[in-house]
Amino acid sequence: MPLTTGEFATIKSIKDRLPGPPDPNQVWIGDDAAILTLPGGGWLLLAADTVVGGVHADLTLTSMADLGWKAMAACISDIAAMGGEAGYALVTVAGPPGTDLDGLYDGLAEAAQEYACPIVGGDLANARALVVTVAVTGTCDGPPVRRSGARPGDLLWVTGPLGRSAAGLRLLRSGVMGAGRDGPEAESLIAAHARPRARLAAGGAARRAGATAMIDISDGLAADIGHVADMSGVGFRLTEVPIAQGASRDDAVGGGEDFELVFAVPPGSAVPEAFAGLDQLICIGEVTSDPGERILAGRTLDPLGWEHRW
């Protein structure tokens, strides 16, 4: 498999080389987190996420503390996308001599406290580029929600308006070039980019409300809802994408790292009740039976999301 192949083809190639789970109730590769079944009953979730300086984070625009926070939040978001609770984290940092580990670990520790996910170990290594890898465990008191369970007729919900992170990054970039980035809306968008939130409570609520499939929006709505459709063997019709204040439609459809959750539930499920007091829940469309159908507002949806190149 050449290194220029897309990330998802690469994952399939890796999966084909490794043994699969002996138990059909387990998922080892290909979902937001791996699902393991525990001998005494219950589920264990495992997820890992890597942030590379200069690739996933522009180190001239991102503080080390923000980078640490984001690395933890992004990984914990994968536990949220299964409907799980965060457990423990391992953090591995490879970087050049002089890397500001104090700043990095300040941000990691803040996120660990916020999500009650203590950092219990990891590794340090010298490397030319900064690479931060977070691995987390999670637990679930019911079957975790996979990407593969959406059924025709299910309604699709998202846990909030989209595009805030992409809009915040644009503001940061324009700010570097001298344009204004003041005001509460700009600050809120920049914070959405610098300190994204993992929707753990929302993921649990969606699971308890009967979600059949779920994913966190890390690569963009178009790409991530496409993964749900691919793995469920279904299509979708979205009425419209909810655009966050200050964001553009492209930010909302193609911008990643909002870490809102999108999930499917059978019609009639008590979704709004399950989310009382939680995130701003929006129904965006429905699941259809034709896997080739990928519609947004009457038009075929291009997967604008950013697929990492290898």
Binding site for Mg ion (CB under 5 A): 32, 78, 216, 218
Nearer to Mg ion, 64 or 284 (CB): 284
Minimum distance from residue 50 beta carbon to Mg ion (Å): 13
Nearer to Mg ion, 75 or 194 (CB): 75
Minimum distance from residue 51 beta carbon to Mg ion (Å): 14
Nearer to Mg ion, 145 or 253 (CB): 145
Nearer to Mg ion, 216 or 257 (CB): 216
Minimum distance from residue 49 beta carbon to Mg ion (Å): 8
Q: What is the DSSP secondary-structure string of the chain?
A: --TTSBHHHHHHHHHHHS---SSTT-B-SSSSSEEEE-TTSSEEEEEEEEEEBTTTB-TTTS-HHHHHHHHHHHHHHHHHTTT-EEEEEEEEEEE-TT--HHHHHHHHHHHHHHTT--EEEEEEEE-SS-EEEEEEEEEESSPPP-SS---TT-EEEESS-B-HHHHHHHHHHHHHTT----SHHHHHHHHHHHS----HHHHHHHHHTT-SEEEE-SS-HHHHHHHHHHHHT-EEEES-PPBPTT--HHHHHH------EEEEE-TT--HHHHTTTSS--EEEEEEES-TT-EEETTEEPP--S-PPB-
Minimum distance from residue 75 beta carbon to Mg ion (Å): 9
Minimum distance from residue 155 beta carbon to Mg ion (Å): 21
Minimum distance from residue 98 beta carbon to Mg ion (Å): 32
Nearer to Mg ion, 95 or 260 (CB): 260
Nearer to Mg ion, 168 or 220 (CB): 220
The residue number whose beta carbon is nearest to Mg ion equals 32
